[in-house]
Amino acid sequence: MKETIMTRLYSPALALAIVAVVAGCGAGTTRRFPLRQVMWTDDDRRPFAPQPRTTFNPYIWDAVDHTVFRQASELFTYELDREALNVNAVDEVADSSWFTNRIGRHPMTADELALGPCASLAQPPFPWRVVRGKSDGSSPGAVIEAADGRRYVFKVDFRQPERATAADVIATRILHAIGYFVPCNQVVFFEPGDVVIDSSATMRGAPYGPEQLAALVAASGRAPDGRRRASLSLFVEGVPLGGWRFEGRRGDDPNDVVDHQHRRETRGMYVASSWLNHVDSRAENNMSVWMESGGGQGHVRHYVLDAGDTFGISWHEDALVRRLGHSHYLDLQHALEDFVTLGIAERPWTNPARREG
């Protein structure tokens, strides 16, 4: 048989040589796991100066920015999905100014879960002096100072007896167990005479009067023994700097080096908020605080504050409230689907089952 170039190419020896070369291209040494301790503490609490400026995210602007402007800008700055950037070698979050591993690293007892961030479950001593009216948020309230000198945000349930006060306490205990920084919230009971007005108390620049306190007490729930029910949220440590956002970085904090949308713990807030039905999770319900360390230096700590909206809410805008937890305030996808289908598709919030009481 006459030998040709093709028969040479397909000779067994040549074929084996090609296979060996190709296999060798993929060979390499096995990558060993680094022989050092897994990082469980993120050094983002290095002292610096000066103290960052105080910020404010108005409710309307925050809603418009996330609903319209941010979504429009993302059309021009398309970013591919990526893994969180602040995880350690075992794909977990290290302790930092944002997060402290608790139930994720070790079991917690029922007593630890119930105590949460509080030093004690005992009520603050009376009398409670109103030092300032509460002018923001949907829950009526005031800032009070207990007889021991500590200050609290005092809130009542208003139209929904027991709902918001209980939800706030339960949800913050869960968030604390997960690992977030939260204030000490507790349900308290009092007599109207236990709450008095400080002589310097104001609200929106005007003196805080007896009629305002009487209206606040009247809006509180009543316990079976006749006492009034409210909740107290202990002021957190540090100097308030305003709410932290779920995206971007704080330019005046040199420790803030990872965009918030790429942090594992801020992404985890989406899961936690979905589970708790925390529909009002936004910048102004978070809080950055300046933790002083001496010599004019300090670092920023990040808190999650108000969770009174969790586990379902009732509001005068019933059609809107029924959607929350399923759909956004302005959900363009759902709006387009309803427009195209003439509203034929039945949504979970269309005819929800209601239970009185």
Note the pTM of the prediction, 2 decimals.
0.84
Query: Token digits for 112?
Result: 């630890």
Average pLDDT over residues 249-264: 97
* Residue from 78, 106, 92 nearest 39 by CA: 92
Domain termination residue (choose one: 184, 210, 234): 234
Query: Taking 90 as the threshold, does the pLDDT of residue 155 lie above it?
Result: yes
Q: Where are the beta strands (DSSP E) in the chain?
A: 128-133, 141-145, 151-155, 185-190, 195-203, 206-207, 221-222, 228-234, 239-242, 286-294, 297-304
CA 147, 148, 150, 154 torsion-angle sign: negative
Residue 9: what pLDDT? 44
Within a domain: residue 323?
A: yes
Query: Taking 70 as the threshold, does the pLDDT of residue 137 lie above it?
Result: no
CA atoms in the 13 A half-sphere facing the CB of 122: 7
Within a domain: residue 326?
A: yes
Average pLDDT over residues 97-110: 96
DSSP string, 168-210: HHHHHHHHHHHTBB---EEEEEE-GGGEEEEEEEEETTEE--H
Shared-domain flag, residues 117 and 229: yes
Total number of domains constituting the chain? 2
Shared-domain flag, residues 124 and 214: yes
Q: What percent of the chain has pLDDT over 90?
A: 64
Domain termination residue (choose one: 170, 202, 234): 234
Query: Taking 90 as the threshold, does the pLDDT of residue 314 lie above it?
Result: no
Shared-domain flag, residues 118 and 225: yes
Angle in degrees, 0-180, between the axes of helices 163-178 and 264-276, rounded to the nearest 10: 150
The burial of 314, by beta-carbon neighbours within 10 Å (0-12 exposed, 13-18 middle, 19 or more buried), is given as exposed
Is the CB of residue 313 less than 8 Å from the CB of residue 287? no
Domain termination residue (choose one: 218, 234, 250): 234
Identity at 220, one-letter amino acid code: S
d(CA 166, CA 156) in angstroms, rounded, equals: 11
d(CA 87, CA 349) in angstroms, rounded, equals: 37
If you ran DSSP here, which 8-state letter would residue 285 be given? G
Shared-domain flag, residues 230 and 319: no
Where residue 138 sits, what CATH number does that domain have? 3.30.1010
Range of the domain at 121: 110-234
